[in-house]
Amino acid sequence: MTKGLFVSIEGIEGAGKSTLIEHLKKHAQFQSDTLFTREPGGTPIAEAIRKILVSREHSDMEAMTELLLVYASRQEHIRKVIEPELSAGKIVISDRFYDASYAYQAGGRHLDVDILAKLDDWVVQKTTPRLTILIKAPIQLCLDRVYSRGNQDRFDDESSPFFMAVQSMYTQRADRDPDRFLIVDGTQSPDEILDICVSKILSLRKL
Element (H, E) at 202: helix 190-205
Query: pLDDT grade, residue 45 (50/70/90)?
Result: very high
Mean pLDDT of the chain: 95
Cβ pair 101, 66 in contact under 8 A: no
Q: Tell me what the mean pLDDT of segment 71-79 comes to.
A: 98
Give which of 49, 24, 69 is closest to 201, Cα–Cα: 24
pLDDT of residue 127: 97
Work out how many domains the chain is built from and give that number: 1
**Domain interval for residue 150:** 5-205
Cβ pair 205, 86 in contact under 8 A: no
Q: Tell me what the mean pLDDT of segment 58-77 comes to.
A: 97
Taking each helix axis as running N to C, give the angle between helix 139-149 and helix 160-176, from 0 to 180 degrees, rounded to the nearest 10: 120
- CA dihedral of 65, 70, 71, 72, whole degrees rounded to 10: 80
Long-range contacts of 168-173 (CB under 8 A, 24+ apart): 168/107, 169/102, 169/103, 169/106, 169/107, 169/108, 170/10, 170/11, 170/12, 170/99, 170/102, 170/103, 170/107, 170/134, 170/136, 171/136, 173/99, 173/102, 173/103
pLDDT of residue 191: 97
Q: What is the CATH number of the domain that holds 34?
A: 3.40.50.300
pLDDT tens track for 103-142: 999 999 999 999 999 999 999 999 999 999 999 999 999 9
Query: pLDDT grade, residue 5 (50/70/90)?
Result: very high
pLDDT tens track for 194-206: 999 999 999 998 8
State how far the Cα of 101 lies from the Cα of 112, in Å rounded to an integer.
11
pLDDT tens track for 14-24: 999 999 999 99
